A = this chain, B = another copy of it.
């Protein structure tokens, strides 16, 4: 099934709102924390073993970026919540990995949650979803990720290399860079989807259509429905961030956010385009099934229509009546052969004219 919110929510039904329990797929490994603390002058990278250690870097003279990978350790989220005085419902949203992408503005921080979508390597087109939450504060950003992967590596790399400009900009620019990395990831996904669709199209044209293709089409349809669900709110999220009057988002960052918004719109349109194409595939499939049946029926009809009358003729002279004058006539048999040859030729010409052959 699609990555759906109900399992978790169903698990939680009955618990008081605001209860901190991790709902979602349990992560195999540990919860891993990493820190980047940077200012134009310096850059410190660390992999602290405790959250207290990580939070110690946070200060007003530099920008701290804390990444928490894996959400099994509820206490880590609790500690961060306590340190920055985060609302319980926000912490609950971070832990429940079935959130709809959204932007929420609080007095001292911004809360962003969205999904990173990645095509799986397994056979068939399948999408992996990873929830990424962000707390944007005056002097840093805390990112919560479900899994350990290379999703944010490009952003980290940029901090390491392009010292000058990036490091002199605030947490809002860091937030933008993270959003940009996650949104642009979808273009790769669209490529995979495109390949999957092309494969189906080739199968439809080369092969005889099997029910398998139908399942593949239905799977693609469902994947698209599911992708759309997580991608379409992203643009709205960014636009709300643009409309927000929070001091945490600088005017200068707006143009960058608008760029992300544009990319999100392009992806949504691309998803819509693929949806239309997949609907068209179904029409081709149904038509090709129908066409094949047509062809089969035509062959049957041509054969049956030619031989059934002839067989009737042979039946006549296979009868055992005593008084059948033709039986004794010398030319009967050759005349029959003339009929046996003429009738099919006439019928074949008729079918030819009717475009059945």
Contacts and interface: CB of A to CB of B under 8 A. Distances in A.
Given A194-B4, A314-B312, A13 B291 contact: no
Interface stretch (A50-58, A69-77, A135-143, A301-309): A301-309
Interface of A is mostly: helix
A104 B355 CA distance: 57
A286 interface: yes
Contacts of A321: 317, 326-327, 332-333, 336
A349 interface: no
B265 A17 contact: no
A207 B16 CA distance: 44
A38 interface: no
B322 A6 contact: no
Interface in A254-307: 255-256, 258-259, 262-263, 265-266, 269-270, 273, 276-277, 280, 282-301, 303-305, 307
A125 interface: no
Given A317-B319, A321-B332, 14 more contacts: A9-B184, A13-B187, A17-B259, A100-B269, A208-B355, A218-B283, A289-B291, A294-B296, A295-B354, A297-B300, A297-B301, A307-B312, A316-B340, A323-B333
The 10 closest A-B CB pairs, nearest first, are A314-B315, A9-B187, A317-B319, A6-B190, A300-B301, A208-B355, A318-B318, A6-B187, A307-B308, A303-B305
